[in-house]
């Protein structure tokens, strides 16, 4: 079987900015949550049998205590933020497994789930559904892959190396050096472009997620 792990936070943001506004009888914005629900149900209709969705129920996490400039909910439109609990509710009502993350992030849930699923002998392939660069570190061979659903591009380990120039296990170090604007992290001055030219063997993997795949 295949296990699909969906980045609900990314999907909610994507649908919020892609769909026209729609409100319920109480005036609450619902278009994005409705869009994500339809998208996940579409995956099931397309043959997906084992799906879980992780969300950032609270945008802030323990990482905000480690780095002052780490991403927060500041600046996120209220009409988007209020749809997180709504999305979690409607997905659960539809029978979808949902992990609403508090303190930890949706990325952490997806990484841990990918680790657990990859170790299950019944699982032929784990598909992490997100374009988030952080999750590229979880890719292993052709067994654990990363899918950008919007672009319909799937990356296995060879694809990650081709895209970033480093092995998946070196993605944490790569991002630490080049920075990651999505998380509010900037790389050390003058190192970003230089590190891209390094071979994968020149970057030593660090421990970012506590659950590592073999």
Which of 97, 113, 11 lies closest to 52 in space, CA to CA?
Answer: 97
pLDDT at 72: 85
149-200: pLDDT as tens digits: 999 999 999 999 999 889 999 998 888 777 766 656 665 654 554 555 455 4
**Looking at the predicted structure, is the pLDDT value of residue 207 above 50?**
no
pLDDT at 202: 55
**Looking at the predicted structure, is the pLDDT value of residue 211 above 50?**
no
**Looking at the predicted structure, is the pLDDT value of residue 86 above 60?**
yes
Q: Stretch 102-131: mean pLDDT, rounded? A: 97
C-beta atoms surrounding 45 within 10 Å? 8
**Looking at the predicted structure, is the pLDDT value of residue 45 above 70?**
yes
**Looking at the predicted structure, is the pLDDT value of residue 94 above 60?**
yes
User: Is there a contact between 81 and 74 (Cβ–Cβ < 8 Å)?
Assistant: no
DSSP structure class, residue 75: T
Query: How far apart (Å, rounded) are the C-alpha atoms in residues 94 and 9?
Result: 18
29-38, 68-77, 93-102, 119-128: which has the minimum mean pLDDT?
Answer: 68-77
């Amino acid at each position: 079987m295949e296990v699909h792990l969906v980045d609900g936070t990314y999907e909610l943001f994507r649908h919020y900015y892609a769909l026209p506004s729609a409100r319920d009888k109480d005036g609450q914005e619902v278009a994005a949550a409705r869009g994500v629900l339809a998208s996940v149900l579409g995956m099931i209709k397309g043959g997906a049998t084992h799906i879980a969705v992780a969300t950032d129920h609270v945008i802030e996490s323990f990482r905000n205590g480690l780095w002052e400039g780490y991403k927060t909910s500041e600046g996120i439109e209220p009409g988007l933020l209020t749809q997180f609990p709504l999305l979690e509710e409607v997905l659960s009502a539809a029978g979808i497994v949902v992990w609403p993350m508090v303190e930890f992030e949706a990325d952490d849930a997806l990484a841990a789930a990918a680790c657990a699923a990859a170790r299950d002998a019944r699982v032929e392939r784990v598909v992490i559904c997100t374009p988030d660069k952080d999750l590229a570190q979880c890719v292993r061979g052709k067994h654990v892959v990363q899918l950008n659903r919007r672009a319909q591009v799937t990356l296995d380990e060879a694809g990650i190396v081709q895209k970033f120039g480093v092995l998946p296990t070196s993605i944490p170090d790569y991002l630490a050096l080049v920075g990651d604007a999505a998380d509010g992290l900037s790389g050390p001055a003058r190192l970003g472009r230089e590190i891209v030219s390094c071979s994968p063997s020149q970057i030593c993997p660090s421990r970012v997620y506590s659950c590592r795949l073999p």
